[in-house]
Structure formats: structure tokens, C-alpha cells
Amino acid sequence: MYDWSNKFNSCLNCSTVRFPYKAKGYCRRCYPLILKLEKIKSWNESFPETWTGYPLSSINLVSKFSLIKKSFIEQYTRRLSTLKRNELKLEGSISGLDLEYKIIEVANLSGTNGSLLFGHDAGAFESHLNQKQRLFIYQKLHSIVETRKWKGIDWYEVFK
């Protein structure tokens, strides 16, 4: 655990204290995303000087400005929501199904088909592991997942 600001007990977005305080009530994971989201929301198609952070490679896509802005906002908002949901899950009750999904996620990260290997194990996790054991395993697996850096904007999603 890290020392937090005198004004904030935890991150305003994800409620964590597992990561250091950065600024304005946010942890070091959420604050850069919040800043970027604020910049994107301030983009004004009529004023290119507001396009701070607009991908230069997309300048020729000015006709798609609204689409790009909307998708960027959605993706950054979703990322912030994911961080919040993950923190809540790490503190809460873990079911056998939660553990199965986390194992599948880690398996997929390693390049295997996690669903094929570990699908349908939720019942076994539920019956053979108590809540404390499931939470412990889930937290360890999640630490693997969260060390992967977020890839950022998915351009396929922008134009789908």
C-alpha cells in the first residue's frame, strides 16, 4: 500500500490504494487516462489547435473526425471502467466462474486457447476451493494480467 494524498483516501476512479497517488485524486494508472480523456473531449473540429493528442497519422482522416473522437472517448472511458471493475472484484467475493474466467484470460495471454483448456471448471473451483482460496488464486492470476500494458486505442474498433 502507498501513502495517499491528505485529501483523498483512494483513487477517485478505481478506488485503489494498491498503486501510488499521482494527482487530482487519481492513482498513477488512472490519472494519465483521465488527462487524455479530458484532452480528447476538448477536441473541436473547427479549431485544430485543440487537437492535442490527435493522432498525426490521422490528419488525412479529418472527414472522420467525429467518428475518431467518439471512439477514442468510448475506449478511454471503457478502460477506466475496467480498472474500476477490476479493483472492486479484487476486494469482493470470487465465484468459481470468476476464477475460471481469470484462468482462461491468463491462458489466452500465453497464446493458448484458454476456453478449450479450462472451460467448464467453475463447478470444480466452487466445490474444491473455499472463498478465501479462490480470492487468493484470483489475485495472483490478476497480478499477471495487470502487468500487461494496455495497448491503447484499437483502430479496428474506431472504424468498425
Tell me, what's the pLDDT at 5?
A: 85
pLDDT at 52 over 90: no
Domain chopping of the chain, boundaries? 30-158
Could you tell me how many residues make up the chain? 160
The answer to whether the beta carbons of residues 28 and 19 sit under 8 Å apart is yes
Using CA atoms, how far apart are residues 122 and 140, in angstroms rounded to an integer? Answer: 17
- The per-residue pLDDT of the chain, averaged, comes to 91
pLDDT, residue 63, reads 75
Looking at the chain, the number of H-run helices and the number of E-run strands are 7, 2
Question: pLDDT band at 4, cuts 50/70/90?
Answer: confident
**Of all residues in the chain, what percent carry a pLDDT higher than 90?**
72
Query: Which tens digit of pLDDT belongs to each residue from 101-160?
Result: 999 999 999 999 988 888 899 999 999 999 999 999 999 999 999 999 899 999 899 888
In this predicted structure, the answer to whether residue 58 has a pLDDT above a threshold of 80 is no
2, with CB counted inside 10 A (0-12, 13-18, 19+), is: exposed
Q: Look at residue 56 in the predicted model and tell me its pLDDT.
A: 67
Residue 20: per-residue pLDDT: 94
